[in-house]
Amino acid sequence: MPRSEDSVRRVFLAVDLDDEVRHGLAAHLGSWSPLPGSSPPPANWHLTLRFLGKVDEPTYETLLAKLDEAELGPSFSLSFGGLGAFPRAARATVLWLGTDAGSDALGGLAAAIEGAVVEAGFMPEERPFHPHLTLSRIRPPQDVQSLIESVPSFPLRQAVDHITVFESILGRGPAAYVPLEVFELD
């Protein structure tokens, strides 16, 4: 019998990074490290497509079935841009790396996933999709305008040929993101 806590997972869907991109980005940001706030370790870097929160086992199985049926579209190449901030650079609480070429395809992928997620019974996401790779979370907010202006665009590209279903395990220290399933693009 599974323990009751095993049957509910905290789940999100994301584009994971290739090792070359992950290590390249860590090197790219090296001169500006440590970044302000609290930075996830590079092993945790990803581009979130959809955060689902706590998901019970039957709903998780339905979600996988709907993702399996979904037309996720063709693979594509994603380029990155410069840094940005939520909600704004003068009072940043999240510092992120933006995307450039391929952003529209990434938005299309997020929309296809959203269809599958809603078919699986989740409430629709109300916030517009804003592709970003979170580099740090900043409390209290800080002005990161000069940092954003000083870091050049990150030149590597990420091949997006699959999406990953991650479990997020919270605890002391950084979250553990465990890949559970992969769905291939065409």
The residues facing 137 across adjacent strands are: 38, 94
Give min distance, CB of 177 to ligand 2AM, in A: 7
Whichever of 74 and 171 has its CB closer to ligand 2AM, that residue is 171
Question: CB of 186: closest distance to ligand 2AM in angstroms?
Answer: 25
**In the complex, what is the shortest distance from the CB of residue 121 to ligand 2AM, in angstroms, rounded to a whole number?**
18
> In 3D, which of 111, 122, 17, 120 has the Cα closest to residue 68?
120
Closest separation in Å from C-beta 51 to ligand 2AM = 3
Whichever of 126 and 186 has its CB closer to ligand 2AM, that residue is 126
Partner residues linked to 165 by β-bridges: 13, 181
71 or 111: CB nearest ligand 2AM: 111
Cα-based torsion angle of the residue sequence 170, 15, 12, 27 in order, rounded to the nearest 10 degrees: 20
Choice between 32 and 51, CB closer to ligand 2AM? 51
What are 7's two structure tokens? 């049957």
- Comparing CB distances to ligand 2AM, the nearer of 90 and 178 is 178
Cβ atoms of 161 and 75 within 8 Å: the answer is yes
Minimum distance between the CB of residue 48 and ligand 2AM, rounded to whole angstroms? 4
Residues that bind ligand 2AM (CB under 6 A): 12, 48, 51, 134, 168
131 preceded by a cis bond (ω within 30 of 0)? no
| H or E segment to which residue 148 belongs | helix 145-150
